[in-house]
Amino acid sequence: MTRPFRWFIGSILAVMTASVFTPTSTLALSEKGFQKLHVFTSILHYVEENYVEGVDEEKILDGAIEGMLEALDPHTVYLSPDIYRELRVDTRGSFDGIGIEVTIRDKVLTVVSPIKGSPAERAGLHSGDHIVRIDGKSTESMSLSESVKAMRGKRGSTVRLTIQRPDAKPFDVSVARQVIHVPSVKAELVDEHYIYASISSFQDGTSKTLEREIEKLAKKNTIQGMILDLRRNPGGLLDEAVSMSDLFLTEGVIVTSESRGKEIDRREAENSGAEPNYPLMVLVDGGSASASEIVAGALKDNQRAVVLGIQTFGKGSVQTVIDLDDGGGLKLTIARYYTPSGRSIQAEGIAPDIVVPAARPEAPEAKTRPREKDLVGHLEPEQGKSVASVAVATVSEDYQKEVALDYLKSWSIFGKRPDAREEKQ
């Protein structure tokens, strides 16, 4: 007997997550399907009876299951009992591994995103990196589950990944496995009046944690705006993505899901809108996937936030994980999700309102122009009547965050200035 586990909107790997779904019907095989099933059992019989060596029945049946699922999409996979056990732990935010999420894209094992603060991030792995070898073994013929298993291991041990990037030679990276503790929310006050909140993944309780952190900061400070950082966030629980969107929305659709051309789920804001209507900037990049894209899409389409950064990963499908009798699980793609505007982001991603690269563009050499104070014999400013000096912002190592903060500051400045027509009256 099978039992549904939870729905999730993330890829699979060192971190795996889920959310709630109940199958509505059992699909019976067609006559052609039964014919093919008969062929399959016949082949299994001939292999068992006549192959040149003795065969491991369990191994070849697992291979048959994996081969069947590979004919569907990269996110539909069989989870062995040990991987499935780790899945249940991973959603609570602590697990053993290197802290990386992967998927198979165009038949290549591809990094979705390294988790913030993880060994994988410290080793310099990037979203979009191709992992072509694991400990010297080619990943070309590996299934997603096999790749996951190969990168897992005893804490303290290392795994050697061979990375391929566009227009570059493959190179090796050794990453130490360790216990990964992933606080899903980190929030702080910047420049006295602005909240900066970084969300690493959507785990159980992430939305409530963010709400509590905002309340703490808002008690002692006047908040004029907020930056919600979803960069390098590979996704997670659908319910948490919906709850987080609802923190900032008082009405409107958050996300819809469709299967076989029919809508099967619709999530709308429940008028909670717990957070004040202050200016909101959402940071995204190529590592923002699935649940992150749902939040960014909901806040963008409902005109609640300005999205800044670069194009997101583009995972627009929804999976359910179903318990199997052997202790393993079936992660099955059951729907596509759509942003409030009705757009699917599958293989496209969320386009930011303001495109800002991760690195600061190199500025052309500035031409030195003389100013009044450089002229010989210039008049000195009068004491007590000079214009207040303009504060120079501290240069940040995080260029996108710096630009987002600049936009928030200008937002509040323009909001305070009276209409020019009113000044003339």
Residues in the chain: 425
């067609």: which residue's tokens?
Answer: 30
Q: Is residue 161 within 8 Å of residue 149, measured between CB atoms?
A: no
User: CA–CA separation, 23 vs 361, rounded Å?
Assistant: 50
Specify which residues 179 forms β-bridges with.
Answer: 96
Give the whole-angstrom CA distance, residue 18 versus residue 204. Answer: 10
Catalytic residue among 184, 257, 285, 315: 315
For residue 396, the tally of other CB atoms under 10 A from its CB is 13
Tell me whether residue 315 is one of the annotated catalytic residues. yes
283 HSE (CA, 13 A, CB side): 26
Exactly one of 80, 229, 301, 331 is catalytic; which is it?
301
CA 301 – CA 295 distance, rounded (Å): 10
Cα 126 versus chain centre, distance: 13
User: For this structure, is 56 an active site residue?
Assistant: no
Q: How far apart (Å, rounded) are the C-alpha atoms in residues 305 and 400?
A: 16
- The verdict on whether 290 is a catalytic residue reads yes
Distance CA 177, CA 171 (A): 19
Q: What is the C-alpha separation between 89 and 87, in angstroms, rounded?
A: 5
Residue 33 parent element (H or E) = helix 31-50
Is 107 in a helix, a strand, or coil?
A: coil
213: CB partners within 8 A, 6+ apart: 185, 187, 197
Q: Which helix (H) or strand (E) holds 293?
A: helix 291-301
Q: Which residues are paired to 178 by β-bridges? A: 97
The answer to whether 205 and 238 have CB atoms below 8 angstroms apart is no
Q: State how far the Cα of 133 lies from the Cα of 159, in Å rounded to an integer.
A: 10
Beta strands in 208-295 (DSSP E): 225-229, 235-236, 253-259, 262-268, 280-284
358 and 400 Cβ atoms separated by less than 8 Å? yes
CA atoms of 412 and 367, how far apart (whole Å): 32
User: Which residue among the candidates 11, 207, 245, 290 is catalytic per the annotation?
Assistant: 290
Q: Which residues are known to be catalytic?
A: 290, 301, 315
